Amino acid sequence: MRGFSGFLAYRLFRTLVALWLVSTVVFVVMRLSGDPVPLLLPPDAPISEMERVRHDLGLDRSLAVQYGVFLGNVIHGDFGRSIHFRQPAMAVARSYLEATFELGLVAFTIALVVAFPLGVISAVKRNSFLDHAAMGLALVGQSAPTFFIGILLILTLSLRLDLFPTSGRGDWRNLVLPALTLGAFTMASIARITRSAVLEVLRADFVRTARAKGVTELWVVAKHTLRNAALPILTITGLQFGTLLGGAVVTETVFAWPGIGRLAIQSIYNRDYPVVQSTVFIAAVLFIAINLVLDVLYGILDPRARA
């Protein structure tokens, strides 16, 4: 019989295994993608110079040794020096994190604040005009590709109406278009899952019982329904956070937003392994931490999930 702390310890263990898997995959993929040394030096650099750089970066050792060194460094949060920036890679990645946090947080907040009430109302007033309008819009938002939403926003609000800048980071006006772009999918998903989760619970026997007892409709929704609908909503919201991180890669690229997603893409093109590893590692830690929190919430909300 495991208690709640046992459940947590077990989740933590799974988390560490997931992190190890992520680091290993990143290591393998990046080492397979080619030699970065020719990118660092002028084309006419002598072989000896290339060998020296290769040695400095530890690339002349066997893959097994490189992997061992890599894992040891990962534990210390050290991914070596950036090949492109010539600074510690983790510090480079961390310096880009703030911009991504700013964008992600604004996007997620907008999405949640709009989507959750909309989903609940759509479920309660099922088949009303509001339900159809909200869900129709949610569907468009969910099926539209992030990068094209960005392109359309740039074309209409930026190039035609000249309301917001097309790219870069600065005051709040720079934030509007990327946040809308990044939040669109999340908003749509949360609205739809909230609606269907609430609908599902509204059909349950205990809701009928509550209604039969004469409980007011507002109380039925607020007390009996939302608590029980919270589990699927929570799960999807957590998954949305991962989608949001992925969406940040595309959104930041479209809007030239100086965040960690754009850094990751550029570093892949530059074959700057240490930075790529740092960015992916940060993204993974963030996502796993969020899911761990969600698991704990899940365990609190539903004792059956602690098994």
Applying CB under 8 A, which of residues 1, 32, 47, 212 lies at the interface with other proteins? 32
Decide: 182 and 251 in contact? Cβ < 8 Å: yes
- Cα 204 to chain centroid distance, Å, stands at 33
Which of 98-112 are b and which e, b meaning 16 or more Cβ less than 10 Å from the residue's Cβ?
ebbebbbebbbebbb
Decide: 88 and 82 in contact? Cβ < 8 Å: yes
Considering the complex, state which of residue 22 and residue 120 has its C-beta at the smaller distance from other proteins. 22
Considering the complex, state which of residue 49 and residue 147 has its C-beta at the smaller distance from other proteins. 147
**Does 197 contact other proteins by CB under 8 A?**
no
Considering the complex, state which of residue 45 and residue 292 has its C-beta at the smaller distance from other proteins. 292
Give which of 52, 80, 53, 76 is closest to 66, Cα–Cα: 80
Give CA–CA dist 211/205, Å, rounded.
10
Cα torsion through 227, 233, 237, 239, rounded to 10: 130
Report the DSSP beta bridge partners of residue 81.
88
Decide: 185 and 141 in contact? Cβ < 8 Å: yes
Q: Please, which residues have CB within 8 angstroms of residue 172's CB and are 6 or more apart in sequence?
A: none
Applying CB under 8 A, which of residues 108, 131, 276, 298 lies at the interface with other proteins? 276
Choose one: 65-73, 91-99, 215-223, 276-284; the region binding other proteins (CB under 8 A). 276-284
Considering the complex, state which of residue 55 and residue 128 has its C-beta at the smaller distance from other proteins. 128
- Looking at residues 122 to 161 of the shown chain, list those that interact with other proteins (rule: CB under 8 A): 139-140, 142-148, 151-152, 154-155, 159
**Does 25 contact other proteins by CB under 8 A?**
yes
**Does 261 contact other proteins by CB under 8 A?**
yes
Give CA–CA dist 200/196, Å, rounded.
6
Decide: 169 and 258 in contact? Cβ < 8 Å: yes
User: CB 181 → other proteins: shortest distance, Å?
Assistant: 13
**Does 280 contact other proteins by CB under 8 A?**
yes
Considering the complex, state which of residue 21 and residue 113 has its C-beta at the smaller distance from other proteins. 21
Three-state DSSP class for residue 88: strand
Binding mask 224-243 for other proteins (x = CB under 8 A): ---------------x--x-
User: CB 48 → other proteins: shortest distance, Å?
Assistant: 28
User: CB 13 → other proteins: shortest distance, Å?
Assistant: 10
Considering the complex, state which of residue 73 and residue 270 has its C-beta at the smaller distance from other proteins. 270
Token digits for 32? 């397979």
User: CB 285 → other proteins: shortest distance, Å?
Assistant: 8
Q: Name the DSSP letter for residue 305.
A: G
Three-state DSSP class for residue 81: strand
**Does 30 contact other proteins by CB under 8 A?**
yes
Residues at the interface with other proteins (CB under 8 A): 14-15, 17-19, 21-22, 25-26, 29-30, 32-34, 139-140, 142-148, 151-152, 154-155, 159, 203, 239, 242, 245-246, 248-250, 253, 261, 264-265, 268, 276, 279-280, 283-284, 287-288, 291
